């Protein structure tokens, strides 16, 4: 094990991190990283010439004098569709900032899914941790928390609640419809001699116990 890996291996999660992740979401993040690669920087799909991840970072970079530097270019797309890796540099005043930049070659379906993943594939805010570890002024200054942000979070939660409730109602309606839908029946005529009627009736009574079976007696 290299010295760098050994040091990284012993690194601990930041104890004040207000983002938490469940086992289910961690497993999903694992799958998405393998499928789409790292979406945390700026991801540029060369096929559609659209920015799939890092749209806000791109908007900031274009506010200033910026340059693009490709460090690694691949002859063919890798397992996540990447064809080039590099950086975008922009300068504000006397400070230069470097952003990770990845070029991919994706079809419309993959880029659409990756864009959604890039905007949702993270831990969830633990507001208790945030409130207990930072002062309100710090949350507003450092994290940009304000009334608009909290309002948008509430709107998102309300929209998700509405969607889930709608899905639940549709499922209940489907189940009720299935319950009242007439069953397809197959009618079987059984004729037995009169002297065997009692034995036949005992057998038919056992069949009556099967769900959906109807027994109709008659005589000629």
**Domain annotation covers residue 9:** no
Structural domain containing residue 34 = 22-122
- DSSP result, the chain: --HHHHHHHT----TT--EE--HHHHHHHHHHHHHH---SSEEEETTTTEEEE-HHHHHHHTTSEEEEEEEEE-SS--TT-EEEEEEEEEEETTEEEEEEEEEE---HHHHHHHHHHHHH-SPEE-HHHHHHHS-HHHHHHHS---HHHHHHHHHHHHHHHHHHHHHHHHHHHHHHHHHHSPPP---------GGGHHHHHHHHHHHHTSTT--------
**Domain annotation covers residue 118:** yes
**Domain annotation covers residue 102:** yes
**Domain annotation covers residue 192:** no
Tokens 């991919």 correspond to 104
* Dihedral, CA of residue 171, residue 174, residue 176 and residue 182, to nearest 10: -160
**Domain annotation covers residue 51:** yes
Q: What's the confidence (pLDDT) of residue 170?
A: 74
**Domain annotation covers residue 157:** no
Q: For the chain, what is the domain count?
A: 1
Tokens 């009692």 correspond to 198
Q: What's the confidence (pLDDT) of residue 84?
A: 98
Q: What's the confidence (pLDDT) of residue 66?
A: 96
Tokens standing for residue 206: 């056992």
Q: What's the confidence (pLDDT) of residue 131?
A: 61
| Cβ within 8 Å of residue 146, ≥6 positions away | 140
Mean pLDDT by 10 residues, the chain (220 residues): 89 79 84 92 96 93 96 97 98 96 96 85 58 64 59 61 70 68 64 63 68 65
142-188: per-residue pLDDT in tens? 555 566 666 666 665 666 666 667 777 777 776 766 666 556 666 66
**Domain annotation covers residue 4:** no
94-105: per-residue pLDDT in tens? 999 999 999 999
Query: What CA–CA distance (Å, rounded) separates 185 from 102?
Result: 61
pTM over 0.75: no
Q: What's the confidence (pLDDT) of residue 53?
A: 92
**Domain annotation covers residue 78:** yes
């Amino acid at each position: 094990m290299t010295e760098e890996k050994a040091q990284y291996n012993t690194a601990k999660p930041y104890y004040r991190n207000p983002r938490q992740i469940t086992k289910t979401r961690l497993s999903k993040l694992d799958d998405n990283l393998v499928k789409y690669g790292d979406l945390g920087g700026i991801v540029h799909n060369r096929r559609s010439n659209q920015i799939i991840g890092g749209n806000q970072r791109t908007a900031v970079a274009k506010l200033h004098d910026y340059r693009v530097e490709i460090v690694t270019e691949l002859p063919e797309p890798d397992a996540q569709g990447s064809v080039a890796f590099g950086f975008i540099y922009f300068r504000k005043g006397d400070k230069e900032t470097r952003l990770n930049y990845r070029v991919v070659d994706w079809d419309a379906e993959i880029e659409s899914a990756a864009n959604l993943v890039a905007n949702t594939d993270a831990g969830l805010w633990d507001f208790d941790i945030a409130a207990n570890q930072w002062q309100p002024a710090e949350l507003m200054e450092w994290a940009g928390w304000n009334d608009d942000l909290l309002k948008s979070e509430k709107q998102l939660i309300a929209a998700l609640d509405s969607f889930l409730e709608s899905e639940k109602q549709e499922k209940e309606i489907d189940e009720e419809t299935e319950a009242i839908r007439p069953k397809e029946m197959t009618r079987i005529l059984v004729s037995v001699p009169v002297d065997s009627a009692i034995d036949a009736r005992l057998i038919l009574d056992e069949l009556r116990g099967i769900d959906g079976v109807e027994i109709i007696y008659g005589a000629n």
